[in-house]
């Protein structure tokens, strides 16, 4: 699969996940109950929630990212987000929601692999070092149920925002990496 | 001859209020004359030298003068402005040039008839953001995004103040929720020669959308023959042109396009409508003898459906 197709596939998977997450997050926030499922809910972000990788980025910096840096940022983010999401998945009380979360985690795992595939096809090394969260997610578990729900709220919101960002990231890459050019480069390296 | 001398100022009063005006430093029992906008005020409105205006209305706004009875010296002058305190303003924020920034615009649901002063504050997390105001009378200001892809909501508070009161409104929203492009521009629809059921439609990205490369737009096209109310729709994920292939032959069409960021936000309003009629065959120019035979045969078949349309095509019959 050429890099161009691989990027397109990753873009499509990102859009699919974004769509899936919209309904899943709605269901999960309803499971958490008020005020978490209220549209104007705007809680402060506690220190623990700051550990979740943030999609927020300076506009000019984002524009100026190299392809490698852009992909690596995505790879690291989803690898960590996946770990947190798996913790969430393990604690959910309803079977139906647990099933949907597991399915989503599997798809998100697919996205991580897909991003890794794009990086390899472009000749970039996968990010070194621990890609999972700093400590086991439960290391500094929330002291009470409400704060635990706050952490979940921010995890889902950050994940949604990452998926929007990634759609723009991969769209940019799609335009910069037409399939034909990449094949030539591969041949030049004697592949 | 009336001499102007005394201090003049603006006096704001609510609609329906009772207003009492003293004639400057004149005693209560002094002889005075009051005028409003140059017209003497009837004695019935006076209580001694005081002017009493009951249940004032908007029409009583104006310049009020008080002259000392004998010397006609101007003793008091005021500009009475009758109005209302502001109601809660209507505030709207929107990003039609994502990711550059967003603008907020506002208006009052009802007029106050007196000058109002607006103050807007935009807070993102803990950061105060600058809102560059358009020159009056445009009630609008612009905010530049410093960061993208933020999970922190923006909080915009608009406060309106006038001499009679104060009000405010607050909007809280996510970055992505307010993304709404302007409608596509330069929409053109043309018939396709030799194709009686086709129309070629093209348009351009709204010029306000700054970076269609990184933030591509998708489009929604709607079209219908003027003779029908039911729109047909087609969504296009890229490109800025489309060929309609199922137009009714010979029928004038109305066509509009809308735009949306391909991943976030909401659809634009519909573009300006354009009209077009699919290509139709030119009637042939024949010699006189042929014309006579042609005219006799045409008069018997003029009610036949256009050649490209199936006789049993119910839809076409509706249109002919």
pLDDT tens readout for residues A3-12: 888 999 999 9
Sorting pLDDT into bands at 50, 70 and 90, what band is B8?
low
Contacts A56 to B, Cβ<8 Å: 147-152
Please count the CA atoms within 13 angstroms of the CA of B308 that sit on its side-chain side.
Answer: 14
Residue B38 backbone zone (phi > 0: left; psi -120 to 50: alpha; other: beta): left
- Residue by residue, DSSP assigns B266-317 as -PPPP---EEE----PPPP---HHHHHHHHHHHHHHTTSPPTTS-TT-HHHH
CA B251 to CA B318: how far, in whole Å? 11
Cβ(A177)–Cβ(A185) under 8 Å? no
CA A148 to CA B176: how far, in whole Å? 26
CA A63 to CA A119: how far, in whole Å? 19
Q: Which A positions 96-125 lie with beta carbon below 8 A of chain B?
A: none
B153 touching chain A per CB within 8 A: yes
* Nearest chain B alpha carbon to A174: B214
In the prediction, which pLDDT does A129 show?
Answer: 62
In the prediction, which pLDDT does B299 show?
Answer: 43
Helix A3-32 to helix A145-176 angle, to the nearest 10 degrees?
160
Q: What is the mean pLDDT of residues B256-278?
A: 96
Chosen for mutation from A17, A20, A59 (greatest number of chain B CBs closer than 10 Å) is: A59
Of B149, B216, B262, the CB nearest to A161: B149
Sorting pLDDT into bands at 50, 70 and 90, what band is B240?
very high
Helix A95-121 to helix A3-32 angle, to the nearest 10 degrees?
160
Give the minimum alpha-carbon distance from B252 to chain A in angstroms, rounded to a whole number: 38
Dihedral sign of CA atoms B123, B128, B132, B138 in order: positive
In the prediction, which pLDDT does B62 show?
Answer: 95
* Nearest chain B alpha carbon to A157: B151
Contacts B155 to A, Cβ<8 Å: 42
| pTM confidence score | 0.81
A172 touching chain B per CB within 8 A: yes
Residue corresponding to tokens 């029928």: B251
In the prediction, which pLDDT does B289 show?
Answer: 54
For the ranges A38-52, A147-161, B109-123, which has the lowest average pLDDT? A38-52
* Nearest chain B alpha carbon to A17: B263
Q: What is the mean pLDDT of residues A14-26?
A: 93
Of B149, B263, B264, the CB nearest to A56: B149
- Other Cβ atoms less than 10 A from the Cβ of B188: the count is 13
CA A115 to CA A109: how far, in whole Å? 10
CA B212 to CA B269: how far, in whole Å? 18
pLDDT tens readout for residues B26-52: 899 999 999 999 899 988 999 999 999
- Other Cβ atoms less than 10 A from the Cβ of B318: the count is 11
Is B149–A175 a contact, with Cβ atoms under 8 angstroms apart? no
Dihedral sign of CA atoms A18, A20, A23, A24 in order: negative
In the prediction, which pLDDT does B248 show?
Answer: 94
Is A167–B263 a contact, with Cβ atoms under 8 angstroms apart? yes
Q: What is the mean pLDDT of residues B2-26?
A: 81
B280 touching chain A per CB within 8 A: no
With 70 as the cut, is the pLDDT of residue A49 above it? Answer: no
With 70 as the cut, is the pLDDT of residue A130 above it? Answer: no
In the prediction, which pLDDT does A148 show?
Answer: 86
- Residue by residue, DSSP assigns A121-164 as HTTPPPPPS--S-SS-TTTT--SSHHHHHHHHHHHHHHHHHHHH
B215 touching chain A per CB within 8 A: yes
Pick the closest to residue B257 from B284, B218, B228 (CA basis).
B218
In the prediction, which pLDDT does A138 show?
Answer: 47
Sorting pLDDT into bands at 50, 70 and 90, what band is B83?
very high
Partnered with residue A123 across adjacent β-strands are none
In the prediction, which pLDDT does B309 show?
Answer: 34
In the prediction, which pLDDT does A104 show?
Answer: 94
Contacts A58 to B, Cβ<8 Å: 146-148
Higher pLDDT, B1 or A76: A76
B150 touching chain A per CB within 8 A: yes
A22 touching chain B per CB within 8 A: no
In the prediction, which pLDDT does A182 show?
Answer: 44
Cβ(A165)–Cβ(B148) under 8 Å? yes
Is A158–B150 a contact, with Cβ atoms under 8 angstroms apart? no
For the ranges A47-56, A108-117, B169-178, which has the lowest average pLDDT? A47-56
- Other Cβ atoms less than 10 A from the Cβ of A191: the count is 8
CA A184 to CA B15: how far, in whole Å? 79
ipTM of the complex model: 0.84
Chosen for mutation from A25, A35, A159, A161 (greatest number of chain B CBs closer than 10 Å) is: A161
Q: What is the mean pLDDT of residues A57-79?
A: 94
Cβ(B229)–Cβ(B306) under 8 Å? no
Sorting pLDDT into bands at 50, 70 and 90, what band is A132?
low
Backbone angles phi, psi at B287, to 5 degrees: -70, 165
Mean pLDDT of chain A, nearest integer: 84
Task: List alpha helices for chain B, DSSP H.
Answer: 288-301, 314-319
B301 touching chain A per CB within 8 A: no
In the prediction, which pLDDT does A179 show?
Answer: 57
Mean pLDDT of chain B, nearest integer: 87
Q: What is the mean pLDDT of residues B142-154?
A: 94
In the prediction, which pLDDT does A2 show?
Answer: 79
CA A30 to CA A44: how far, in whole Å? 19
In the prediction, which pLDDT does A149 show?
Answer: 87
Is A175–B263 a contact, with Cβ atoms under 8 angstroms apart? no
Q: What is the mean pLDDT of residues B198-219?
A: 95
In the prediction, which pLDDT does B84 show?
Answer: 97
With 80 as the cut, is the pLDDT of residue B320 above it? Answer: no
CA A2 to CA B6: how far, in whole Å? 88
In the prediction, which pLDDT does B291 show?
Answer: 52
Chosen for mutation from A52, A53, A164, A169 (greatest number of chain B CBs closer than 10 Å) is: A164
Sorting pLDDT into bands at 50, 70 and 90, what band is A136?
very low
With 80 as the cut, is the pLDDT of residue A58 above it? Answer: yes
Share of chain B above pLDDT 70, in %: 86
A54 touching chain B per CB within 8 A: yes
**B14 burial type by CB count under 10 A (0-12 exposed, 13-18 middle, 19+ buried):** middle
Q: What is the mean pLDDT of residues B295-313?
A: 38
Rounded to 5°, angle at Cα B257 from B255 and B260: 165
B152 touching chain A per CB within 8 A: yes
Higher pLDDT, A181 or B183: B183
Higher pLDDT, B283 or A24: A24
B170 touching chain A per CB within 8 A: no
Sheet holding B195-204, edge to edge: B185-192, B195-204, B241-244
Tell me if the bond preceding B137 is cis, omega within 30° of 0.
Answer: yes
User: Helix, strand or coil for residue A38?
Assistant: coil
């Amino acid at each position: 699969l050429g890099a161009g197709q691989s990027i397109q596939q990753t873009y499509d998977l990102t859009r699919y996940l974004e769509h899936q997450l919209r309904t899943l997050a709605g269901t999960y926030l309803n499971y958490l109950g008020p005020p978490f499922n209220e549209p104007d809910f705007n809680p402060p972000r506690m220190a623990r929630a700051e550990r979740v990788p943030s999609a927020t980025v300076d506009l000019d910096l984002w524009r100026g990212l190299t392809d490698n840096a852009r992909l690596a940022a995505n790879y690291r983010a989803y690898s960590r987000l996946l770990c947190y999401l798996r913790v969430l998945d393990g604690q959910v009380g309803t079977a139906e929601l647990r099933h949907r979360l597991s399915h989503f985690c599997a798809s998100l795992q697919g996205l991580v692999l897909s991003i890794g595939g794009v990086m390899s096809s472009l000749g970039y090394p996968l990010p070194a070092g621990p890609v999972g969260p700093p400590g086991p997610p439960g290391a500094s578990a929330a002291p009470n149920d409400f704060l635990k729900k706050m952490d979940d709220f921010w995890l889902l919101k950050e994940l949604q925002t990452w998926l929007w960002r990634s759609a723009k990231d991969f769209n940019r890459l799609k335009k910069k990496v037409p399939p034909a050019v990449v094949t030539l480069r591969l041949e030049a390296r004697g592949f | 001859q009336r001499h102007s001398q005394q201090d003049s100022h603006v006096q704001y009063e609510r609609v329906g209020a009772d207003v009492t005006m003293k004639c400057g430093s004149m005693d209560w029992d002094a002889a005075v004359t009051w005028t409003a906008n140059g017209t003497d005020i009837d004695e019935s409105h006076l209580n001694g030298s005081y002017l009493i205006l009951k249940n004032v209305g908007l029409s009583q706004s104006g310049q009020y003068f008080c002259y000392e009875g004998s010397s006609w010296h101007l003793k008091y002058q005021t500009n009475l402005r009758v109005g209302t305190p502001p109601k809660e303003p209507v505030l709207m924020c929107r990003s039609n040039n994502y990711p550059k920034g967003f603008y907020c615009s506002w208006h009052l649901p009802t007029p106050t008839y007196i000058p109002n002063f607006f103050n807007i504050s935009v807070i993102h997390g803990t950061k105060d953001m600058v809102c560059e105001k358009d020159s009056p009378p445009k009630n609008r200001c612009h905010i530049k995004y410093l960061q993208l892809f933020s999970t922190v909501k923006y909080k915009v508070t608009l406060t309106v103040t006038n001499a009679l009161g104060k009000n405010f409104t607050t909007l809280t929203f996510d970055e992505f929720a307010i993304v709404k492009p302007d409608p596509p521009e330069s929409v053109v629809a043309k018939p396709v020669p030799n194709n009686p059921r086709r129309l070629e439609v093209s348009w351009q990205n709204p010029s306000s959308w700054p970076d269609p490369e990184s933030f591509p737009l998708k489009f929604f096209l709607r079209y219908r023959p003027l003779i029908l109310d039911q729109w047909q729709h087609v969504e296009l994920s890229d490109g800025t042109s489309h060929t309609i292939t199922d137009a009714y032959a010979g029928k004038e069409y109305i066509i509009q396009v809308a735009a949306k960021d391909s991943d976030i936000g909401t659809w634009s309003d519909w573009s300006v409508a354009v009209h077009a009629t699919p290509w139709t065959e030119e009637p042939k120019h024949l010699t006189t003898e042929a014309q006579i035979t042609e005219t006799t045969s045409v008069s018997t078949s003029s009610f036949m459906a256009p050649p490209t349309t199936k006789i049993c095509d119910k839809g076409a019959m509706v249109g002919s």
